[in-house]
Protein backbone atom coordinates (compact mmCIF):
# COMPACT_ATOMS: atom_id res chain seq x y z
CA UNK A 1 0.00 0.00 0.00
CA UNK A 2 1.29 3.44 -0.90
CA UNK A 3 2.39 5.64 1.98
CA UNK A 4 0.64 9.00 2.09
CA UNK A 5 2.82 12.09 1.95
CA UNK A 6 0.59 13.65 4.62
CA UNK A 7 0.63 12.70 8.27
CA UNK A 8 -2.60 12.19 10.15
CA UNK A 9 -2.20 15.49 11.97
CA UNK A 10 -1.74 17.29 8.64
CA UNK A 11 -4.86 15.58 7.29
CA UNK A 12 -6.85 16.71 10.33
CA UNK A 13 -5.59 20.26 9.83
CA UNK A 14 -6.73 20.23 6.18
CA UNK A 15 -10.15 18.89 7.20
CA UNK A 16 -10.50 21.60 9.84
CA UNK A 17 -9.81 24.24 7.20
CA UNK A 18 -12.55 22.70 5.07
CA UNK A 19 -14.94 22.75 8.02
CA UNK A 20 -14.03 26.38 8.69
CA UNK A 21 -15.47 27.39 5.34
CA UNK A 22 -12.55 27.35 2.93
CA UNK A 23 -13.87 26.20 -0.46
CA UNK A 24 -12.93 22.58 -1.14
CA UNK A 25 -11.57 23.33 -4.64
CA UNK A 26 -9.23 25.99 -3.27
CA UNK A 27 -8.17 23.80 -0.36
CA UNK A 28 -7.39 20.89 -2.67
CA UNK A 29 -5.41 23.13 -5.00
CA UNK A 30 -3.38 24.59 -2.10
CA UNK A 31 -2.52 21.22 -0.59
CA UNK A 32 -2.03 19.41 -3.89
CA UNK A 33 -4.67 16.72 -3.38
CA UNK A 34 -7.68 15.68 -5.41
CA UNK A 35 -11.20 16.34 -4.21
CA UNK A 36 -11.73 12.56 -4.07
CA UNK A 37 -8.81 12.28 -1.63
CA UNK A 38 -10.31 15.06 0.48
CA UNK A 39 -13.65 13.29 0.74
CA UNK A 40 -11.96 9.96 1.52
CA UNK A 41 -10.06 11.66 4.31
CA UNK A 42 -13.26 13.26 5.51
CA UNK A 43 -15.03 9.88 5.68
CA UNK A 44 -12.09 8.32 7.53
CA UNK A 45 -10.93 11.15 9.80
CA UNK A 46 -13.95 13.47 9.92
CA UNK A 47 -14.71 14.86 13.37
CA UNK A 48 -11.46 13.62 14.91
CA UNK A 49 -8.84 15.59 16.76
CA UNK A 50 -5.12 14.85 16.71
CA UNK A 51 -5.35 13.27 20.18
CA UNK A 52 -8.19 11.03 18.95
CA UNK A 53 -6.01 9.86 16.08
CA UNK A 54 -3.20 8.99 18.46
CA UNK A 55 -5.58 6.94 20.59
CA UNK A 56 -7.01 5.16 17.53
CA UNK A 57 -3.48 4.26 16.37
CA UNK A 58 -2.65 2.88 19.81
CA UNK A 59 -5.83 0.81 19.87
CA UNK A 60 -5.18 -0.55 16.38
CA UNK A 61 -1.65 -1.62 17.30
CA UNK A 62 -2.87 -3.24 20.53
CA UNK A 63 -5.64 -5.01 18.61
CA UNK A 64 -3.19 -6.41 16.05
CA UNK A 65 -0.87 -7.57 18.84
CA UNK A 66 -3.74 -9.35 20.58
CA UNK A 67 -4.86 -10.98 17.32
CA UNK A 68 -1.35 -12.34 16.75
CA UNK A 69 -1.22 -13.60 20.33
CA UNK A 70 -4.59 -15.33 19.91
CA UNK A 71 -3.47 -16.95 16.66
CA UNK A 72 -0.33 -18.32 18.33
CA UNK A 73 -2.32 -19.68 21.27
CA UNK A 74 -4.91 -21.28 18.97
CA UNK A 75 -2.13 -22.94 16.97
CA UNK A 76 -0.49 -24.29 20.13
CA UNK A 77 -3.86 -25.53 21.38
CA UNK A 78 -4.57 -27.37 18.12
CA UNK A 79 -1.10 -28.94 18.18
CA UNK A 80 -1.61 -30.14 21.76
CA UNK A 81 -5.02 -31.60 20.89
CA UNK A 82 -3.46 -33.49 17.98
CA UNK A 83 -0.67 -34.78 20.21
CA UNK A 84 -3.13 -35.94 22.90
CA UNK A 85 -5.34 -37.60 20.28
CA UNK A 86 -2.34 -39.53 18.90
CA UNK A 87 -1.30 -40.77 22.36
CA UNK A 88 -4.78 -42.09 23.11
The pTM score is 0.63
Q: What is the pLDDT of residue 48?
A: 84
Start-to-end CA distance of the chain, whole Å, equals: 48
Report whether pLDDT(23) > 70.
yes
Look at 62 and 2; give whichever has higher pLDDT: 62
Q: What is the Cβ-side half-sphere exposure of residue 31, based on CA atoms within 13 angstroms?
A: 24
Is residue 24 a contact partner of residue 38, using CB atoms and an 8 Å limit?
yes
Under DSSP, the state recorded for 6 is S
Q: What is the pLDDT of residue 24?
A: 94
pLDDT band at 1 (very low <50, low <70, confident <90, very high): low
pLDDT band at 30 (very low <50, low <70, confident <90, very high): very high
Collect all residues with Cβ–Cβ distance below 8 Å to 17 and sequence separation of at least 6: 27
Amino acid sequence: MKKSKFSESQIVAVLKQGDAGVPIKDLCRQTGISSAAYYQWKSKYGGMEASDLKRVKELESENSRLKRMYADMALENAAMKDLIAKKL
